[in-house]
Amino acid sequence: MAEHITEQEQIETLKRWWAENGRGIVTGVALALAGYFGYQWWQGDQRAKAEAASDLYQSFVEAVSANNNQPDNKQLTTAKTLAEQLKSDFGSRIYASQASLRLAAIAADSNNLEAAQQQLQWVFDNSGETALQLLAKRRLAAVVAARGNPDEALELVAGTVPPAFAALYSETRGDILKQKGKDASAHAAYEQALTELLPEQAGSAQLLRLKADSLAAASGDGMPQEESSEPTSGGED
């Protein structure tokens, strides 16, 4: 009889506990399941978007290749349309930025600097990849300078950048300063770029050295000459 009473008490205790905590447990399980299946859905959605963006970019690359470096034809029009779709539907993905960078290069090659600037500005404003933003900003500076705004271009390549871009930015500053006729400053920028080259960038050293040396020869080493300490003729003995 005592055992029966104990069992009944245990059952009643369990009922009370379930009444107090059962709803919370059910809710917790439901939330956990919802979170799990929600994450699975999100992963599937991201994979689908990545595949769609990749397929669209592949079509863009094929259209650009078929363009055969012509300034304007049907394939280039197709490539531009695909690039706009990439920017509209997948603007935060790397494919959209890569397409814009490619179109900017095509525009610059055909001397359409306004179109090149627009494409590069889009990458700088919208890319989620820091490296692509820095690359676009450097090219943007070159285009802005070519359009006759060297001071604005210098502002774009001012300041500190990661080591992988330091030499490139210094070289660009040198190019813009040379355009402004400031040979001494341009020479210093090229020399700085040489010191900033990483081992894997050694292939750029020869061109940088040629740029620096050409200015050194043209401007007397690119630096003001110091006054001689020797007495001039006609001075006191």
For residues 67 and 75, the answer to whether their CB atoms sit within 8 Å is yes
- Residue carrying structure tokens 């779709």: 85
How long a stretch of residues is the chain? Answer: 237
Of 188, 166, 181, 177, the residue nearest 142 (C-alpha)? 177
Q: Can you tell me the distance from the alpha carbon of 143 to that of 191, in angstroms, rounded to the nearest whole number?
A: 23
Sign of the C-alpha dihedral computed for residues 105, 107, 108 and 110 taken in this order = positive
Calculate helix-pair angle for 130-146, 163-179, nearest 10 degrees: 10
Structure tokens at 64: 């650009």
Torsional class of 41: left (φ above 0), alpha (ψ -120 to 50), beta (otherwise) = alpha
Look at residue 98 and give its three-state secondary structure: helix
Over residues 177-226, the pLDDT tens digits come to 999 999 999 999 999 999 999 999 999 999 999 999 999 865 555 444 43
Over residues 73-95, the pLDDT tens digits come to 788 899 999 999 999 999 888 99
The pLDDT value given to residue 15: 74
Q: Can you tell me the distance from the alpha carbon of 153 to that of 146, in angstroms, rounded to the nearest whole number?
A: 9
The pLDDT value given to residue 226: 39
Number of neighbouring beta carbons within 10 Å of residue 73 = 12
Of 201, 223, 202, the residue nearest 212 (C-alpha)? 223
| Model confidence, pTM | 0.71
For residues 60 and 82, the answer to whether their CB atoms sit within 8 Å is yes
